[in-house]
Chains A and B, each alone.
Chain A
Amino acid sequence: MVERTPVLNFFTHLILFIGFVFCIAPFVVVAIAASHNLKDVNDVPMSLLPGSDFWVNIKTAWTTADLGPKLLNSFIMATGVAAGKVIISALTAFSIVYFRYPGRTFIFWLIFITLMLPLEVRIVPTYAVVANVLEPYQTILDLTGLSWLIEKVSGVHVALNLGMLNSYPGLILPLIATATGTFLYRQFFLTVPDELTEAARMDGAGALRFFIDILLPLSRNNMAALGTIMFLWAWNQYLWPLLITTDQSHATAVTELKQLIPNVGGAPEWHIAMAGTLIIMLPPLLVVVLMQRWFVRGLIATEK
């Protein structure tokens, strides 16, 4: 039901505006705080008129937290995770929707259940696996006595070790499986008419050909939506990068933000912290602005 009366128009816009203010207010405060000097930012209440030290603070934040390489790390990680998620979820959904094999529903539900097991829940075993990717195989060898046998026969002590701590794969790979993405893709694939699949079969296209030539181009909007959401999600990851990057060279911008937050007993340099926050917020903001068109289309509309 669409009603158009001036009064209703006014109220809907008022509500919209209030919502907008609620969303934008924290950003405004951050931006204003980032423009004050040390004294002004600690005034109570803080002046809501912008100060004059904005660029100085930005520069200080940039150098103190070494944000250049850290932003690059964040960017590599977020892009890797987003791309990985898009590829993995497209492939899993393709398998679940288009192939009939025993246990298909069971596998779908297994994937679905992982929605209830976010990274935080399984972080200890995940850390163990990333610390040594071959650990599970080593355990199997040890338990079955195979490593003992191999050592007796060949004299070689079996110690499998492939560590991924402090590496990009270590940052990215544990995060790329996604039930949400699989589900999103599944729903999209279900809307693709069967006749299209059949037409492709009549045209002689095999499964992979159909996937690449027909399904992927059709799911461009979907990809953009999922990619954007996952980029943001990965960019904002804190716990996982913090755990596995013991070496500063692989730390991400979000974890590095901590460097800027004043320590107990240190100078309360909140203006620097806010400036750093602004810098780190910028890339995801740009991604959203650039991708918005496809993003919205991918989430709401099924294009015919």
Chain B
Amino acid sequence: MASITIRGVKKNYAKTQVVHGVDLDFPSGEFVVILGPSGCGKSTLLRMIAGLEEISDGEIAIDGTVVNKLEPRERGCAMVFQNYALYPHMSVSQNIGYSLKVAGVPSAERQQRIQAVARTLELEHLLDRKPMALSGGQRQRVAMGRAMIREPKVFLFDEPLSNLDAKLRVQMRSEIRKLHRRLNATSVFVTHDQVEAMTLADRLVVMNGGRVEQVGTPGEIYTRPASRFVATFVGAPAMNILEGTVELDGLSLLGGSRRLAMARTGLPVGTKVAMGIRPEAVRLVAPGTAGALYATVDLVEELGAGRVIYVDLDGAPFSVMTSEAVHPEPGSQVGLKISPDDMHFFSSETGARLDVFKASVPEPAL
């Protein structure tokens, strides 16, 4: 159990800076997921916590102790790697027990602890096998066992599920979650998969381009994305963004070709905004319904439980997710009803969230 404090951490490789000053606080026992596209610096940040990567500037403290200059083994972290990184010439039990062997734990105690870990992970019957003779999921479990056996203060996961097939990934996901509930050690989990991130996280950190875009619970990130990047990155299909200008009684969209009448937005008239709306928040209505946008259907994707309807809005791509039993033909016209409640506004210039709407306008009575 340990808290992690990250203060102004930067990382430079030669002349390029890849992490530009990150400040984060992870309370003890929390499951934190760092989410971001590849190359956003999330793995680098994790490796700096682990001690595998030097910290160019700033400070990382675990449990109040600054660990910048400490070797990985002195930090009390254990790490699960993306490619498992099992020692190919050692058996499963040797792999799991290696850190104890290095630490000089007597053989009898070591065996006992290996057994205990193997029991938790249901690896008992595999202890004598070599990693080569294991399936992907089993290897993943051995890698977790190797991390668990040291009873670390902090668990670090570097995209540990990305090499597994879809079904196994879902299964390992829930196992990791259960494991965390049992061990209750602070965990930092890096991934580019938003479903993984949403399902696992107590707290979600979204990173982009070496900066933290937003920190919050998965719910907060989904309902109140702090920036245009977060809005489009989290959620599938991605949030629709329409460029527009605020007018006195509505929004002028797509360079003025469409108008969306609505009560005051609360934003100064003339502000250039990016209006975001989640595909699942758009309602399909009959074409010509008052107050609805009309569009041409491009493509319908059947998902079983619902469908995603891709429409063309004067050249701008736009998607609608619906669970209703509607099957519009490609090429036909549909009406799109968007409730002002579900709109997100982002600054056209900075991409930051503009949050005046909900603060200044009372719930419209419908």
B-binding residues in A (CB < 8 A):
193, 195-196, 198-205, 209, 213-214, 217-218, 303-304
Contacts and interface: CB of A to CB of B under 8 A. Distances in A.
22 contacts: A193-B83, A193-B85, A195-B83, A196-B87, A199-B79, A199-B87, A200-B98, A201-B51, A201-B52, A201-B72, A201-B73, A202-B50, A202-B72, A202-B73, A202-B99, A203-B73, A203-B98, A203-B146, A204-B72, A204-B99, A214-B87, A304-B88
Contacts of A201: 51-52, 71-73
A221 to B, nearest CB: 11
Interface in B83-123: 83, 85-89, 98-99, 102-103
Interface in B159-217: none
Interface in B65-82: 71-73, 77-79, 81-82
B79 to A, nearest CB: 5
A169 B70 CA distance: 44
Interface string B9-43: 00000000000000000000000000000000000
Contacts of B87: 196, 199-200, 214
A204 B103 contact: yes
The prevalent SS among residues of B at the interface is: loop
* A-B pairs with lowest CB-CB distance, top 6: A204-B73, A195-B85, A203-B99, A199-B85, A217-B89, A204-B102
Nearest to A203: B99
A202 B152 CA distance: 11
A15 B71 CA distance: 59
A214 B98 CA distance: 11
Contacts of B99: 202-204
A280 to B, nearest CB: 37
A198 B83 CA distance: 12
B234 to A, nearest CB: 28
B98 A198 contact: no
**What class of interface size applies to chain B in its complex with A?**
20 to 34
B78 A205 contact: no
A203 B72 CA distance: 8
A62 B89 CA distance: 45
Contacts of A193: 83, 85
B78 A202 contact: yes
Given A204-B73, A218-B89, A195 B102 contact: no
Interface string B147-160: 00010000000000
Among the interface residues B83, B85, B150, which one has the most CB atoms of the partner chain A within 10 A?
B85
A198 B71 CA distance: 12
Contacts of A205: 98, 102
Contacts of B52: 198, 201-202
Nearest to B97: A203
A199 B73 contact: no
Contacts of B73: 201-204
A202 B70 CA distance: 12
Given A195-B83, A214-B89, 13 more contacts: A195-B85, A198-B81, A199-B85, A199-B87, A201-B73, A202-B72, A202-B79, A203-B146, A204-B73, A204-B99, A204-B103, A217-B89, A218-B89
Contacts of A213: 98
A200 B77 CA distance: 13
Contacts of A209: 102
Contacts of A195: 81-83, 85
A213 to B, nearest CB: 8
Given A193-B83, A195-B82, A202-B50, A218 B88 contact: yes
